Amino acid sequence: MTVDARQGATTMQAAHQVPATTETAHAFNRNAGCPLDVSMFDGHAVNLSATERRAASLTTRRSVKKAHQAAWLVNAIRMIDLTTLAGDDTRERVRRLCAKAAQPLSPQLKTAIGMEGMRLTTGAVCVYPTMVRHAVEALAGTGIPVASVATGFPAGLTPLNLRLAEIRYAVEEGAEEIDIVISRELALKENWSELYDEIAAMREACGPAHMKAILATGELRTLRNVYAASMVAMQAGADFIKTSTGKEGVNATLPVSLTMVRALRDYGAETGFKIGFKPAGGIKSAKEAIAWQILMKEEMGRDWLNPDLFRFGASSMLGDIERQIEHFVTGRYSAANRHATA
C-alpha cells in the first residue's frame, strides 16, 4: 500500500543526491521552548506492559530486506553520532574517529551500491569537551559537526555554574551540538520547576549550538517519569531528547524510546516545534539500526529519518553496518578486519 508507483516518480529526481544533511538549512524553526506547563504531562499514563508489547511488535510487523535494507543502513550511517567518551581518549584517538566519520564506508563499497562520489558521513562526532578542539581540527572542511557532552557528564552532579561554564567552554572550542545531562535528582523528586530552570539555563548557555538533553532514562525508572522529563526538557528548549549517557545500568531500549517519541509527538502537536530524538548506549548492531528507524517511521514518519531529527549515539554499530552492506554487495558474510576501524 505504501509501496506504489509514486516511489519511482519521486526518486528519479533525487537519484543522485543524498537527502538533507545537517549542513542544509533547517526546514523548520528551532524549538523556542515554552513556559513550564505541568498539565502537558501531569497524570499522563504510560502503561509498561502495553508499551513493551508495542515495542516488541514494531520489529515483527516490519521487515526491510535486500536493497531496501542496504538503503536503510546507509541512512543509519548518516544519523550516527560517532562517539568516543573514554577516559583514555587522546588527540590521535579522536583524529582516527574523525577520519572514520568522514569516510564511514569504503569507496569500493560505496561504488558497489551506486554511491560513488556522493557525500556520505556520519551525523556528527561526539566527544568530551577537552577533545572538541582536536575533533574540530580533524573535521575541518568535512562539514561534519562536532558534538560535545557537557554538564558534568555522565552524572551531572557538579555545581550548576560549573556545568554551565562547561557548556560555554565546549561551544567556544567549536562544538555545534551539546549533549547535556539532566539532574536525575530533580526528576525523581518531581521538582519540575527547578529542572526546567536548569535546562533552560543550559539552553541559553548553548547559544547557537543545538542542545540534546540526556534524560538518563535507566535512572528515571518509570516510563511516566520518562515522559514527564521529556516534556520538561522540551519546554525548556531542548532541540533533541536523548535516552542515555551510555553509562547507566540500562541504556536505550525500544519501550523507553517509544515513550520519548510519543512525548515529542505530543509536544509538537501542542507547540508546532519539531524535536529530534537520539537513542544512545548499547546500540551495537545493524539490526538495531533498522529497529529504531522502523520505530521512527511508524510513530513519526519519514522526516524523523533525517539527521536533523534523529541520531544514534553509537560507537561500534558502524562496524556491523559496514559488514552487512558488504554482505549485500558480495553475498558473502564479512569480517570486521576488512573494514577501517574508527
Partner 1 sequence: MTDITPLLSDLDYGTAPEDASIVRKWLDAHKAGFGHFIDGAFTPVGETFAVTDPATGDVIAHVTQGTSADVDKAVAAANKAQPKWAKLSGHERAKHLYALARHIQQHARFLSVLETIDNGKPIRESRDIDIPLVARHFYHHAGWAEILADEFPNMDAVGVCGQVIPWNFPLLMLAWKIAPALAAGNTVVLKPAEYTPLTALAFAQIAAECGLPKGVLNIVTGDGATGAAIVGHKDIQKVAFTGSTEVGRIIRDQIAGSGKALTLELGGKSPFIVFADADLDAAVEGVVDAIWFNQGQVCCAGSRILVAEAVAPRFTALLKTRMAKLRVGDPLDKNTDVGAIVHPVQADRIRDLVQMGQDAGAVLHQIAAPQGCFYPPTLATDVEPASILWEEEIFGPVVTLTTFRTVDDAIALANNTRYGLAASIWSENINLCLDITSKVKAGVVWINATNIFDAAAGFGGYRESGFGREGGREGMLSYLKPASVKSGKAEPAPAALDAAVGLSTTAEIDRTAKLYIGGKQARPDSGYSYTVSGPKSPVGLAPLGSRKDIRNAVEAAAKASGWGKATGHNRAQVLYYIGENLSARAGEFADRLQSFGANKGTAQAEVEAAIRRCFWYAAQADKFDGAVHSTQSRMVTLAMNEPLGVIGIACPDRHPLLGFISTVLPAIATGNAVVAVPSQTQPLVATDFYQILETSDVPAGVVNIVTGPREELSKTLAQHDEVAAMWYFGTADGCAMVEKASTGNLKQTWTEVAGTRDFASPAGQGRKFLARATQVKNIWVPYGE
Active site residues: 179, 242, 278
Determine, following the binding rule CB under 8 A, whether residue 65 of this chain makes contact with partner 1: yes
Residue 168 touches partner 1, criterion: CB under 8 A: no
User: Counting contacts by CB under 8 A, is residue 298 touching partner 1?
Assistant: yes
CA angle 67-72-76, nearest 5°? 145
- Would you say 3 or 335 has its CB closer to partner 1? 3
Measured distance CA(179)–CA(212) in Å, rounded: 5
Q: Please say which residue, 207 or 272, places its beta carbon nearer to partner 1.
A: 272
- Angstrom distance (rounded) from CA 31 to CA 335: 42
Q: Which stretch binds partner 1 (CB under 8 A): 14-22, 91-99, 173-181, 192-200?
A: 14-22
Contact call for residue 49 and partner 1 (CB under 8 A): yes
For the chain, state the CA radius of gyration. 19
Segment contacting partner 1 by CB under 8 A, of 42-50, 98-106, 316-324, 334-342: 42-50
Closest to partner 1 by CB, 96 vs 265, is 265
- Please answer whether residues 44 and 267 qualify as being in contact, where contact means their C-beta atoms are separated by less than 8 angstroms: no
Asked if 77 touches partner 1 (CB under 8 A), the answer is no
Using the rule CB under 8 A, is 72 a contact of partner 1? yes
Residue 7 touches partner 1, criterion: CB under 8 A: yes
Residue 25 within binding range of partner 1, rule CB under 8 A: no
Least Cβ distance, residue 45 to partner 1 (angstroms): 4
Tell me if 24 contacts partner 1 by CB under 8 A: no
Q: Is 16 helix (H, G, I), strand (E, B) or coil?
A: helix
Say how far residue 204 (Cα) sits from the centre of its chain: 21
User: Using the rule CB under 8 A, is 257 a contact of partner 1?
Assistant: no
Place of cell 568535512: 142
Residue 127 φ then ψ, to 5°: -140, 175
Q: How far is the CB of 297 from partner 1 (least distance, A)?
A: 7
Closest distance to partner 1 from the beta carbon of 74 (Å):
7
Stretch that binds partner 1, among 50-58, 89-97, 145-153, 315-323 (CB under 8 A): 50-58
- Is 277 among the residues that bind partner 1 (CB under 8 A)? no
The C-alpha atoms of residue 10 and residue 23 are separated, in whole angstroms, by 22
Task: Report the sign of the C-alpha dihedral through residues 203, 205, 211, 217, in that order.
Answer: negative
Stretch that binds partner 1, among 58-66, 156-164, 273-281, 313-321 (CB under 8 A): 58-66
Give the whole-angstrom CA distance, residue 182 versus residue 143.
29
CA–CA dist 118, 16 (Å, integer):
7
Buried b (16+ CB within 10 A) or exposed e, 50-60: ebeebbeebbe
Instruction: Give the nearest distance from C-beta 267 to partner 1 in angstroms.
Output: 14
Q: What are phi and psi of 281, to 5 degrees?
A: 95, 115
Which H/E stretch holds residue 340? none
Sites of contact with partner 1 (CB under 8 A) = 1-3, 6-8, 10-12, 14-16, 18-19, 43, 45-54, 57, 60-68, 70-72, 74-75, 111-115, 118, 221-222, 262, 293, 297-298, 302, 305, 328-329
